[in-house]
Structure 1
């Protein structure tokens, strides 16, 4: 693994792309998580193969979802800026948070499209509206993209943000090709695990290894990297996980050891059934509660549930399973909230 280093957009060339738009990750040097052609989880597992996928789709029956699952929270209208030490975090839905503090506006994995899919007419469709209307977003300074799956990297939304605000877009190696698919002029800082990217106003983003995988088509599996982000200089630190399996707790022990306990952990709690298929790529709520403990975080917000139907559990089951897991561990449920679109967390309080 590389030593931690600080980079800016001018320091890193694009990783490139092939004629089909697939990231040309084989242009980079081999490392402990890249074999010269594809990325992998060191000491971990790769994604399931086509036979397992067929077994899941043909033999498993999931819980039904409603056509609409509206949030109990009103659509948020964020302030233009949040100054000083106050931290304001608004949940737009799925894996999209607006993080505001020290005068910066940061979006994670922004998805405002109707479907998490390469197609406008098929694929997982929203069952609730974004918790922030796109036109109500304040000027966005930074966008963090954790990996290339369609429910996290929405090229159409990124192109809209670029045309409107010209944000600093940060993503792990290889994801620039997909981001530029809607607009080849979009500037992207691509970085490796352990790299530090200055975001301005004294805030840094550190790309951290998590246990996942990537693909946007049939031929590009693991040709682009995945990561979580530690944000230093905002409150007492924030960890945004992206997507990950629990991986025996290794990602969370590592982050706590390198950065100390974050003040706020943004942890995925959905898309986990059937467990035999999803265990290596997505945590369930019990895993997320264990991760929360390993991080030593004071507060957590759970996401990746209740917006797009991706797996077999029902729309509301992650919240119920989270409540049960917190009770089993004797943790105050106010410390780990199953976030709903439009919900706002501000320096330890919710609104």
Structure 2
């Protein structure tokens, strides 16, 4: 028997709504299996993007930049930049109030096969105490990879999707003002070599580790392109023989990614978000017979002000005190028998019958799993 108490018995309509959504999802997943392309379940290993990052300055702000007395590296960075342009700032420049300048971190993703001269989007985020980057311009910033080499140069006017105003100590702000984006704000200076043309084979990496999917992918390739072309190395990798000619290899991969395989039933999994109370079950989740005791516990605290008035001419003062009244109410728990549920719809009906809140279901599902009655993997995000 599993026991659990609840402190919020008033969220049952929410659970019914959740059950309705899950039942709709089950109705959709109950449709006949449809074929999916290999490109939707796997990708060519080695063909990936690379992270770039850099440190730069945003200028042209309307008094919303860093307070340089608290952020000395902003002034130091500007001084170094000016010296590169042949301008030497006077002594004591560290005390300059450059409120239209902000120190930022620039990040970007260098796509696979990106060539010099092409442009990529960049994200710009303040690292100081700048109030807003709106209207600012990023000066030329080198973007480096993990190897320390420069792969792109970033520069341009920021697009900040927010607005704000302040006056008389009041402030109103919409969205975030200390981060922005520059579409096409970086130009690629160096390409990253990929192993696509290396060797006699290519490797397909599955998006999720599953031996059945790997077997189906290899079988689909062999049935279409010839026996022995592909073989599954493990639950996530399928090795495929490919032509050595670069043009023929590209055409081969293009045809390979369009091959269809029948969609498989995924492994049973329950995903729980403890921060929001969201619970998602896929179509493979089943429930064994079990018994659950579920009750409600409520605590009510009320505070009543009590005034102590002194007698006349006593010299005392009037005192206001608080009198707290605490009441605890616990409903009796009822043991409910949940029958075996071979389908997702049956699982939803069984959980809905408990009348538990989403937060309660998080604990109840973990307890059912610990008892061995929930045939699914629990994943907490």
Pairwise TM-score range, normalised by the shorter structure: under 0.3
User: Under a length normalisation based on structure 2, what TM-score does the superposition of the two structures give?
Assistant: 0.16
Q: Which has the larger radius of gyration?
A: 2
User: Under a length normalisation based on structure 1, what TM-score does the superposition of the two structures give?
Assistant: 0.17
